[in-house]
Structure 1
Amino acid sequence: MQSYVQIENAGMVFNTKKGKFTALTGIDLHVDQGEFIALIGHSGCGKSTLLNLVAGLLDATDGVLLLANKEIKGPGPERGVVFQNHSLLPWLSAFENVYLAVEKVFGRTESRKQLKARTTAALELVGLTHAAGKLPGEISGGMKQRVGIARALAMEPKVLLMDEPFGALDALTRAHLQDELMKIVAATKSTVIMVTHDVDEAVLLSDRIVMMTNGPAATIGEILAVDLPRPRERLQLAHDPHYHDLRSKVLEFLYSRQMRPKEAA
């Protein structure tokens, strides 16, 4: 296994009106190629900050972050990002939203026909060819998120970064997209880092769960290996004692941190 993402002693300090605020400290994490990592913890523990460091949207104040042995300096097409808010341009169709990203990455090296083929393939991957011509305002929230995932995957990123991508969806839509995401990741062999507040989502989707301590000065508290065989079927897992054991371990960590909200101060 090749480590695609290496985070070495990373820290993040923000300058605020009240002075310096240490959001993260001493973050050490290696993510292997094809691995699915879930980041979980209480609100304010720096999960999204850590994801933004990997995305290059923030520059770490301490330590170093590497992707395929190259230092991360700013955003790049090798990292596709899916936010909780789909961030689609409302005046462009689903196809055009994905095409815009494809053209940005491959426009100098590929023909328009090839770019359109890439766009169509990405929409097929998320099951949205039937809605390719629709505007964001004409499709459901779940479909918007699938367009966002298609847009990220169309860039063929080395790492897919997801910040609570299903957090605003109803339970049934969320479950459906979780199942779809597992199929997509299996098909594309993607390396994924996902922020979530949902314990069941973390156990269902990930290979390892990175549990964050409370902020300020949050760090990695524990890392739990999720050794459930793939492919995973949620109905079967509902009766699997090992699934419930893993779930309990995450809950125990979260509840213990809830008892000591200023532990990391």
Structure 2
Amino acid sequence: MEKFLSIQRAGQVFKTRKGAFVALRNIDLNVAQGEFITLIGHSGCGKSTLLNLIAGLTRPTSGVLICAGREIAGPGPDRGVVFQNHSLLPWLSCFDNVHLGVEQVFGQRESKVRLRERTSAALALVGLSHAQQKMPHEVSGGMKQRVGIARALAIEPKVLLMDEPFGALDALTRARLQDELLEIVAATRSTVVMVTHDIDEAVLLSDRIVMLTNGPAATIGEILPVPLPRPRDRVALADDPAYHACRAAVTDFLYRKQSHPAAREAA
């Protein structure tokens, strides 16, 4: 597959009162269309910083990022973002939270009926047709996060960016949403870049796992292909040697090759 998202020698330096802080250096990564990439590493290694660069929320200090042949110069509807916090507007219904983005992207060229159809279709995709008119405070945390995913998918982004979207959820809800995400990505053939701290989540979802070195001046340490066929079933994978080999490789990188200083002190 040809590269769809290209990050070339990207670096990020922040100005602080104590001087320059180098967050990322020499990031080189090519992502194919339809590929699912996860970014993993210890806290402070710049995972979210890299995701923000791809989203266009910040500009790189050095290097360049290209999506679908165009340089990323700022936020745009070609990149949808799902945050760890669902970030729903509490005064709008689930439907209206999704419809707001749809209207902004498609409102100038599509009818009101078509905009509502897009919104309903996105909510149906995440299994929330029954909750369209509920307010955010009336639904569970997992349902709020599904609304956030629907909001991102509704604008038909070329790349779906996810910043630990299930990190604040309980284990059972997180597992259910991971399974639903696998189904959604299979149906939409989305290109996904996702930040996670969860090794099992990374192996379950990814085509490749990008492992970052410790910060400051973090960079890509290793990239691990995940040779597990799709569709994937978490129960079947429990006894799959390839699954365990991938999990062991990520664990080895994080806890032996990149053991965090705090972890070493506690050991």
TM range (shorter): over 0.9
Does the 8 Å CA contact 1:214/1:261 hold for their aligned counterparts?
no
2:6 is the counterpart of 1:25: no
Distance (Å, rounded) in 2 between the aligned partners of 1:95 and 1:122: 10
Q: CA shift at 1:257, angstroms?
A: 4.0
2:14 is the counterpart of 1:43: no
Distance (Å, rounded) in 2 between the aligned partners of 1:162 and 1:226: 19
2:153 is the counterpart of 1:153: yes
Q: Say if 1:230 and 1:59 are closer, same or farther in 2 by CA, change over 3 A.
A: same
SS at match of 2:242: helix
Summarize the alignment of residues 140-179 of structure 1 with structure 2, pairs less than 5 Å apart: 140-179=140-179
Per the alignment, residue 200 of structure 1 pairs with 200
Does the 8 Å CA contact 2:35/2:207 hold for their aligned counterparts?
yes
Distance (Å, rounded) in 2 between the aligned partners of 1:143 and 1:242: 32
- Note the residue ranges of structure 1 that are not aligned, 5 or more in a row: none
Q: CA shift at 1:174, angstroms?
A: 0.1
SS at match of 1:239: coil
Per the alignment, residue 95 of structure 1 pairs with 95
Distance (Å, rounded) in 2 between the aligned partners of 1:73 and 1:136: 33
Per the alignment, residue 233 of structure 2 pairs with 233
Per the alignment, residue 109 of structure 1 pairs with 109
SS at match of 2:73: coil
Per the alignment, residue 10 of structure 1 pairs with 10
Per the alignment, residue 67 of structure 2 pairs with 67
Moved more, 37-46 or 236-245: 236-245
Amino acid aligned to 2:86: H
Summarize the alignment of residues 123-138 of structure 1 with structure 2, pairs less than 5 Å apart: 123-138=123-138
Moved over 6 A (4+): none
Does the 8 Å CA contact 1:226/1:246 hold for their aligned counterparts?
yes
Distance (Å, rounded) in 1 between the aligned partners of 2:166 and 2:194: 11
Normalised by the length of structure 2, the TM-score is 0.97
Q: Say if 1:98 and 1:259 are closer, same or farther in 2 by CA, change over 3 A.
A: closer
SS at match of 1:42: coil
SS at match of 1:108: coil
Distance (Å, rounded) in 1 between the aligned partners of 2:257 and 2:114: 50
SS at match of 2:118: helix
Q: CA shift at 1:258, angstroms?
A: 4.3
Does the 8 Å CA contact 1:214/1:257 hold for their aligned counterparts?
no
Q: CA shift at 1:261, angstroms?
A: 4.2
Per the alignment, residue 121 of structure 1 pairs with 121
Does the 8 Å CA contact 1:207/1:225 hold for their aligned counterparts?
yes
- Note the residue ranges of structure 2 that are not aligned, 5 or more in a row: 263-267
Distance (Å, rounded) in 2 between the aligned partners of 1:55 and 1:203: 23
Does the 8 Å CA contact 1:7/1:28 hold for their aligned counterparts?
yes
Q: CA shift at 1:69, angstroms?
A: 1.3
Percent identity (aligned) = 72
Distance (Å, rounded) in 2 between the aligned partners of 1:84 and 1:97: 16
Q: CA shift at 1:2, angstroms?
A: 2.9
Does the 8 Å CA contact 2:42/2:260 hold for their aligned counterparts?
no
Per the alignment, residue 56 of structure 1 pairs with 56
Distance (Å, rounded) in 2 between the aligned partners of 1:106 and 1:149: 18
How many correspondences in the alignment? 262
2:230 is the counterpart of 1:216: no
Distance (Å, rounded) in 2 between the aligned partners of 1:86 and 1:17: 32
Moved more, 207-216 or 250-259: 250-259
Does the 8 Å CA contact 1:145/1:165 hold for their aligned counterparts?
yes
Distance (Å, rounded) in 2 between the aligned partners of 1:2 and 1:85: 33
SS at match of 1:235: helix
Does the 8 Å CA contact 1:77/1:105 hold for their aligned counterparts?
yes
Q: CA shift at 1:4, angstroms?
A: 1.6
Distance (Å, rounded) in 2 between the aligned partners of 1:50 and 1:259: 21
Amino acid aligned to 2:82: V
SS at match of 1:259: coil
